[in-house]
Structure 1
Amino acid sequence: MEAVLTAAVELLDEAGESALTFRALAARLGTGVGSIYWYVTSKDDLLDRATDHVLAGVLTAVEGQTGSDDPIADLRMMAVTLFDAIVDRPWLAAYFMRNTDVQGNSLLLYEKLGRETLRLDLTPKQRFHAVSAVVGVVVGTAADLGQEPPEEVLSGAVDRDEFLDRYAATWRAADPVQFPFVRAIADEFAGHDDREQFLAALDLTLAGLRLQAGG
């Protein structure tokens, strides 16, 4: 199973979900397709188990990141670790916590995030909403960043900054009555740092959680 999952993750890392077929996996392992069915029942099962395999490493990474006097700071460190893992492996976003019956590590990571909220003065519903919000910011933002760039950026015809500048220029020229906000943030959009944008969204979420917990 370890060899199957390691090879599956390699294929996913190289070219995403479309590259992970039983034929390709069998070729990578130097075995027949039929032998893979000894370990997994379907492609969905394989994807869930490959996700769980990767999340074992994320769990190891967050061990030792908790235990400070500030549960929200600990929650932030774990969230950033998960974000970085998904940015490195964009395919991970689609399968995180999809099937916790199979993804034991996914559930353990969710538990570790939620355990920090047990140290705060919150109701069960508030805790549930808090962790849902943090996971949503992490997974949603990482998934957005993991989208394949436009062909002209992939081909090298333009770089990322040139691509963003083109839109920023359009936004600056927009009707000031109809698009006052878009015009106001055009300069910030041009050349913005994606990770900085994620951290700002995460910190806004956690600041709201801190207020809800009484400061």
Structure 2
Amino acid sequence: MNNFGWTGSFKEFVDVEKHYLVNTLCLHQYNQTLKEAKENPVEDGTLSQIAAWYDCIRYLKDEIPFIEHLPGYLIFEYEILRSGRRRPDVLLFLPGELLVLEFKSYTNVYEDEYIQTSFYVRDLQQYHSAVQKYNLNVRGALVVTKETKAIEGIQAYQIYKLGVSGLKNLIQRIEKKLPPTELIPSNDFLSGVFQPLPFIIESASFYYEGGTTSAD
């Protein structure tokens, strides 16, 4: 079984039909077609999830055409390694960059949602072999699709809050600083394994072996 719902280049996303994409995500997540999921949902949250996918796709369809010229691609519903099947809504890749996008269709954002997005960033940056191999800079953004303020830095969680036009604005900023490096192939990322950064292993070994810090 795939560890993601759909992946494609920016151009492929712009060209893909929204109902086809949602149908693909339904087949991945529920093993049902879109029609089956609407008529006989297998989970209580199925219909709200379908609505959320449509809202996410609508937002991206408005934003991605502005960056279609860049080398990059999207992955929907990637299952983070050893995370209890937690899935960020969308991962956006550029040369040397990975942007984690979590979508909300309402404007009242709660602290837990900032925390969730920041945890996705942490898990990918610190525990994914391909992210480490390609030395990707991992950023996170909570995308509030009906928010009128385009972009805001949420310093407490080291992520962005994006509204209408926020994604294209953020990527246009990033584009000016993109390193002269290759785009990680999607297959390399998707075949990556759980691999803690060396400092995490060293820290765990230290405490397991009974080490102390100067504060002890």
TM-score by length of 1: 0.27
* Higher helix content, 1 or 2: 1
* Higher strand content, 1 or 2: 2
TM-score by length of 2: 0.27
